[in-house]
């Protein structure tokens, strides 16, 4: 639970899933879940309850975990890992298998951000979908790339150069009937039309 933030905001439940054969079997320590928790705790003003899963690269198991997290009340589910072209990378397939709607813009923007750093970003297959009243996002596997994708890129003056995907997440969750997410603008300024803003 993120208890250091103000409690005037709606409490939210967020699912975080790290997909890795080796980390889930104890070969090495998972870095995906701590990176997701760190960024979300800094970015959101809402009190957060995290539901965590560390699972192997198995399509049926990933799909089952996503459904379980959505049904448990997670308005947002973030995955990390398993989105490349390797034979064991099946996170996008598992995500699309549970989708009610696909949100193509998120994946397009994630690749645009990563292409600022590496040409192999075109090999990434991250997708975003809606299931019920929950948004599910596939993120990169590296902690640095997770933060860059969510937060976007800033210049030396701290001004946004490339928008991160999380700027659009709160309004998307509004539109599907989820809780009102408030962000810390020093980390990530959420965008909402004026008629969707709520006095907090």
Asked if residue 7 is part of any domain, the answer here is no
pLDDT at position 56 over 80 = yes
Mean per-residue pLDDT, 117-126: 94
Give residue 5's pLDDT. 41
Asked if residue 26 is part of any domain, the answer here is yes
Asked if residue 137 is part of any domain, the answer here is yes
Mean per-residue pLDDT, 76-101: 97
When divided into structural domains, the chain yields a total of 1
Asked if residue 4 is part of any domain, the answer here is no
Asked if residue 123 is part of any domain, the answer here is yes
Contacts 24+ apart (CB under 8 A), 100-103: 100/129, 100/130, 100/131, 100/132, 101/129, 101/130, 102/127, 102/128, 102/129, 103/128, 103/129, 103/130, 103/135, 103/172
pLDDT digits (tens, 9 = 90+) for 127-146: 999 999 999 999 999 999 99
Tell me the CATH number at 138.
3.40.980.10
Asked if residue 6 is part of any domain, the answer here is no
Give residue 98's pLDDT. 98
SS3 9: coil
Torsion of CA 50, 81, 77, 162, to 10 degrees: 110
Asked if residue 2 is part of any domain, the answer here is no
Asked if residue 1 is part of any domain, the answer here is no
The residue range of the domain holding 117 is 12-196
Give residue 8's pLDDT. 63
Mean per-residue pLDDT, 111-134: 95
The pLDDT-based confidence of 3 (bands split at 50, 70, 90) is: very low
pLDDT digits (tens, 9 = 90+) for 6-30: 446 889 999 999 999 999 999 999 9
């Amino acid at each position: 639970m993120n208890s250091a933030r103000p409690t005037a905001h709606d409490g939210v439940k967020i699912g975080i899933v790290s997909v890795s054969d080796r980390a889930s079997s104890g070969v090495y320590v998972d870095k995906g879940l701590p990176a997701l928790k760190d960024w979300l705790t800094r970015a959101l003003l809402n009190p957060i309850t995290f539901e965590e899963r560390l699972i192997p690269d198995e399509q049926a198991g990933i799909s089952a975990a996503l459904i379980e997290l959505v049904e448990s009340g997670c308005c947002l589910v973030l995955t990390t890992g398993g989105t490349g072209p390797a034979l064991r990378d099946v996170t996008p397939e598992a995500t699309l298998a549970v989708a009610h709607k696909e949100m193509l813009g998120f994946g397009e923007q994630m690749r645009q951000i990563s292409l600022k750093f590496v040409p192999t970003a075109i090999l990434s297959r991250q997708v975003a979908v809606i299931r019920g009243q929950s948004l599910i996002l596939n993120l990169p596997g590296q902690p640095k790339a997770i933060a860059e994708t969510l937060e976007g890129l800033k210049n030396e003056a701290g001004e946004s150069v490339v928008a991160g995907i999380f700027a659009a997440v709160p309004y998307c969750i509004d539109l599907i009937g989820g809780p009102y997410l408030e962000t810390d603008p020093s980390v990530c300024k959420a965008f909402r039309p004026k008629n969707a803003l709520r006095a907090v």
